[in-house]
A = this chain, B = another copy of it.
Amino acid sequence: MVHRLVVSYGQPDDPGAFDAHYRDTHVPLATAMPGLVRFTVGHPVPVDPSELPPYLVAELDFASEEDMAQAFASPEGAAAAADVGTFASGGATMVHFEVHEVPAGTTSRP
């Protein structure tokens, strides 16, 4: 099973500074968290021109919700969480959920 935390960062005041801090400081803090099994990021593309998408979406996968809770209770997790407040000038919203795979039916897999 996979338990996924999705962090959506709003548009920052200074995207260049955000990117540099994220890459050089936040990624090393986040990847040090115990129990993190997969970490991906993406820069959303606008779908509806009237709706500004988040600036960055980070997905952090753990083996279980308990593993995720333990990761954030660790010193590494506390450091990563505390760091968010130092660079997320456009805010950050988080949701987490158990990932359920939907069988892809008639879809062919490459």
Contact of B101 with A39 in the complex, beta carbons under 8 Å: yes
A contacts with B, residue count (CB < 8 A): 46
Contact of B31 with A103 in the complex, beta carbons under 8 Å: yes
Question: Which partner residue on chain B sits nearest A48 by CB separation?
Answer: B94
Q: Which residues of B contact A97 (CB under 8 A)?
A: 42-45, 57
Contact of A28 with B105 in the complex, beta carbons under 8 Å: yes
Q: Which residues of B contact A30 (CB under 8 A)?
A: 102
Question: Which partner residue on chain B sits nearest A42 by CB separation?
Answer: B97
Contacts A6-B6, A59-B99 known; 9 new A-B pairs at CB < 8 A: A27-B102, A39-B107, A41-B99, A42-B97, A42-B98, A44-B95, A44-B96, A45-B96, A57-B97
